[in-house]
Structure 1
Amino acid sequence: MAEETFRSICREDPGNLNAWANLGYVYDKLGRELDAGECVEKVSHLMGLDAGEASQEETRVLAARCLAEQAYVHPYDVELDNEDDLRERLTAALRLYNKALDYGGQLISKEEKRSWYFKMATIYIRLDDIVKTKEDSEYSRHTHFNKGLKLLQETLKSEKTQHKALAWCYIGIMLERKDDFTTVPMSIHDCGYSASDPLSCYGTAINMASDDAFILNLLAKVFFLLGKHEMATGISNMALNVLPDPELNWQGYCTRAKINMMFYIRDLEKAKSGQGGIPDRQLLTEARKDLDKVLSVRPCLRTHLEMAQVYYYMGVDALQESLLVDESAVNCALVSLSHALQFELGDSLPDLHVLRGRCLHLKGEDQNAADCFKQAVELERPGSTDTTALRCLLQALLSVFMQGGPDPSIAIGQLEMWVQKAEERYPNDIVKAELRCLYRTQTAEVTELSRALIRAGRLDLVKRLLETIVPKQLAKKKTITRSFSYT
């Protein structure tokens, strides 16, 4: 697959150094030495080391673009979970961009440089998010802030509306952050934003993109990620008014559906904590309508998964997710999940298996549900602290045990095995917390399980359960001998 991808890039862009170099690497891995050698020769030819001055200039441009390309993809890695690793990658990407600018010099057009400036500015903003929790926060943040804002100021000179609109949006984001500093970053004064308001920057960005659905969708996505959901909704509506055709503007419908789901889940959490009333289920209906339009023209794994989530919430009680109120909606959720599983990588998503298990659990198919939760636990990344799948699995296996059956030892054996697996996968205190939660929420069922375990002489799990509920023994106080003085 990698070979075919790089070959197609080489056909479309024969001067792409990265594509030829990567294709050579793929051939080397495949043991195809002749093909790998041809790629090396192609790279050498493109580098033009022994060519004339005109060719040398062209080579410098190619090499500069090659570096900028590497800089662009450098921070995108599915394994970058650790903030320190991400910080290192972002910093390395900036070095590559600076190297590309230095290598290309005046040979790179101003417009192309401005597109690089914009990407560099977004990296500085991401770095600011990371370093504000570090010890060197104040110094590093000032440096990143000042460089990022000045690069955005340069981006505003771009001829492309997309770059200008997004630059204004990001300037607004940075102006919102200025109060985080003990002293106002100097770049705000240098760039002339001393009297500027973030909202006016956002307004400028929206006005620039008012007749371009594609740019409006990009702005809506930025505001959604910032948690400005009302603004994101308004911009999505603007984009859909400009271009209502789902085939051409499916992104707009996707974003609006995601926002409506976010509103519903947010209101649901408030209701569960007693801070609000029952969430408006019309939000689910609106999300379903938007996703239906997307699925009619662009079915994909993500959209089927989001549709399944919508149907799941339609099928359960608004406040008690364990109560089934609409079985047909839950069945529709299972159908959407089956469609999602047909896509490549669908089977590798823990969230998909958790949602599928929850639907089956609602329908009383506890063993099937448990099998789904097992897959989700197996797919969790090493070091993950998300125990949603584990919690659901323990509840499902407890339900399987309570249903009885000809041989309850099978359910007991599953519980013992998966608690042991959990202790190998998660930190010990997390497993204890989940067992404690299971005991407190289903005390009668856990008590019945403990009796069965004792009768069968299988005491290890009983001990683990007891350890979660017995308070820590306080150290015995030392006896203090009093001394009396008669003088």
Structure 2
Amino acid sequence: MADPEAVAEDLDALIDDLDYLPGHFHLEMQLNFEPRSPASLRARDLKLQREGLRQELALAAALPRRSAVRHLLGACAFYLEELDEARESFLQVAREDPGNLNAWANLAHVYGRLGQEEEEEACAARLAGLMGLAADADSEADGDAHARAARCLAEQGYAHGFDVGCASPEERARVLAAGITLYDKALSYGQQAIEIAKDQPPILNRLAKIFHFLGKQDMAIGTCNMALDILRDPELNWQAYCTRAKVHVRAYLHDLERVKMGLGGMPDRNHLACAKADLEEVVKVCPGLKTYLDIGQVYYYMGVDAMRELLAVDEAALNQALVFLAKAGELELGATLPELQLLRGKCLRIKGEEANAAACFKRVVELDDAGCSHPEGFGCLLEALLAQWSQAQLSDGELGREVDAWLRRAQGKYPAARLRQELQRVWRGHTGEVLGLARALVAQGRPALVRLLFETMEREGEGEGAGAGAPRGRRAFSF
């Protein structure tokens, strides 16, 4: 067996020369950094990613793609502390592709964590041989060395598209840019221009997803169309349908936000029709949590008025949204997704089921990560509670206790500026109810809570965080 210290020195020299390192656990992905979210939420995100990867593995025909997916499954298992499963994933790659550099590097990492030093050293020696460092390198490091390096880098680039734990779109873009850099290196080692992608739907689908994340939606649509021109069968090419649907939904929501700010005309609902057609194809052959959630979202927006979401325009579409959301909720991880609960609560509110809607919104607040910058669930909860109170479904005392408990919980969950903006949105849309709430709280002897609620409203008159059309110079309240 090769001297481990000598092998390590040789590996360092090769890395300096080639500017790459086999394995997935050193990559600059959020997956490999110290988690910023609680362990339970981190585990939820890893399990969601693993579910999608297992779906991809079931449909992956080509060996290179299977290997890339198995590496990611192994990484997810590793960070879920399922080390035996992680080891088996990497071993499976090594069995199918004995020259796979990432397999031996990843196995060495897992064996190191397990404290199995002999196995770790054996994997390191095998890796050294494949990279042309061992004494018997001539028998292993042949003319395929460049192809192995290209495969190693391409698998690493592929992994960046499945990162877990990015806190912002900017962070996500940095991760994807790093993945593209690795793909570029892979192409240079393999001495192939990107021309190979033109006839390869899996490669086209990865490119389309990257374009989508980077905001280049026209390129994403065009790339999806190229993939579907080659392979239209949704069972074999469901990724292209899913990505194209996501692009259409994003386009609709982008236009919707613009019109709400007074910057454009009504959003084109044809985007929803296109997304629905694509997702209907997918859900027939590849049902799953994300697909149910995506198509449920499309049906929700088809069922409500664009400007006044509390107004139903298509009751059948809303009912269909609830059907798909219920299917998603039946799956293992469905109850852990705040976006599912938010969408379900919105549907129930429109149908007049305020109590059930409020229960969904409470769950959203519970499930949101600490520091989450989207307090919409709390705002919807406050609206649902006000609606119940105005319909005499809650007494003054019950309303006061609910608002007190959930406002304090929201303060510990969301950034103050974002929570302020959400409270201002509720204030502008429900001024009468909020004033009634204030009077009820004062009557209950809760002036401190009233001040807490209205201190943000006073700032609105100063222009801080006020949205388009917000009232100015509103008289300050004192109780």
In which range does the TM-score fall when normalised by the shorter chain?
A: 0.5 to 0.7
Matches within 5 A, 1:207-246: 209=198, 211-246=199-234
**CA distance 1:266–1:433, change in 2 (3 Å):** closer
Deviation sequence 1:209-262 (CA, Å, 0-9, x none): 1x4434443443344334333343334333323322111221221122222222
Match of 1:81 in 2: 167
TM superposition shift of 1:13: 0.6
**1:120 is matched with which residue: 182, 197, 218?**
182
Match of 1:326 in 2: 314
> Do the aligned residues in 1 keep the contact of 2:441 with 2:450 (CA within 8 Å)?
yes
**1:356 is matched with which residue: 328, 331, 344?**
344
Deviation sequence 1:162-217 (CA, Å, 0-9, x none): 4xx5xxxxxxxxxxxxxxxxxxxxxxxxxxxxxxxxxxxxxxxxxxx1x4434443
1:298 aligned partner, one-letter code: C
**2:438 is matched with which residue: 450, 460, 464?**
450
Matches within 5 A, 1:408-447: 408-447=396-435
Q: Does 1:255 align with 2:213?
A: no
TM superposition shift of 1:12: 4.0
**CA distance 1:347–1:18, change in 2 (3 Å):** farther
Q: Does 1:6 align with 2:92?
A: no
TM superposition shift of 1:372: 1.6
TM superposition shift of 1:330: 1.2
SS in 2 for 1:425: coil
Match of 1:299 in 2: 287
**2:135 is matched with which residue: 50, 53, 63?**
53
Distance 2:327 2:113 in 1: 33
Matches within 5 A, 1:186-225: 209=198, 211-225=199-213
Deviation sequence 1:313-366 (CA, Å, 0-9, x none): 111012211212222211211111122223343332222221111111111222
**CA distance 1:25–1:357, change in 2 (3 Å):** farther
**1:381 is matched with which residue: 357, 369, 389?**
369
More divergent stretch after superposition (254-263 vs 230-239) = 230-239
**CA distance 1:56–1:417, change in 2 (3 Å):** farther
TM superposition shift of 1:464: 1.6
Larger radius of gyration: 1
Matches within 5 A, 1:260-409: 260-405=248-393, 407-409=395-397
2:233 aligned partner, one-letter code: D
**CA distance 1:70–1:397, change in 2 (3 Å):** same
Q: What is the root-mean-square deviation of aligned Cα atoms in Å?
A: 4.0
Q: How high is the TM-score relative to the length of structure 2? A: 0.65
TM superposition shift of 1:20: 2.8
Matches within 5 A, 1:124-139: none
How high is the sequence identity, in percent, across the aligned residues? 38
1:6 aligned partner, one-letter code: R
Structure 1 unaligned blocks of 5 or more? 29-35, 94-115, 123-150, 166-208, 475-487
> Do the aligned residues in 1 keep the contact of 2:154 with 2:182 (CA within 8 Å)?
no
Larger relative CO (CA 8 A, sep 6+): 1 or 2? 2
Q: Does 1:157 align with 2:243?
A: no
> Do the aligned residues in 2 keep the contact of 1:48 with 1:56 (CA within 8 Å)?
no
> Do the aligned residues in 1 keep the contact of 2:153 with 2:186 (CA within 8 Å)?
no
Distance 1:212 1:456 in 2: 68
> Do the aligned residues in 1 keep the contact of 2:248 with 2:271 (CA within 8 Å)?
yes
> Do the aligned residues in 2 keep the contact of 1:308 with 1:336 (CA within 8 Å)?
yes
Match of 1:18 in 2: 105
SS in 2 for 1:13: helix
Q: Does 1:460 align with 2:448?
A: yes
SS in 1 for 2:311: coil
**CA distance 1:155–1:319, change in 2 (3 Å):** farther
> Do the aligned residues in 2 keep the contact of 1:394 with 1:415 (CA within 8 Å)?
yes
Provide the aligned length of Structure 1 versus Structure 2. Answer: 368
> Do the aligned residues in 2 keep the contact of 1:24 with 1:39 (CA within 8 Å)?
yes
More divergent stretch after superposition (218-227 vs 57-66) = 57-66
1:403 aligned partner, one-letter code: Q
More divergent stretch after superposition (368-377 vs 444-453) = 368-377
Match of 1:479 in 2: none
Distance 1:264 1:256 in 2: 13
TM superposition shift of 1:375: 2.0
TM superposition shift of 1:442: 0.7
**CA distance 1:473–1:451, change in 2 (3 Å):** closer
**CA distance 1:396–1:277, change in 2 (3 Å):** same
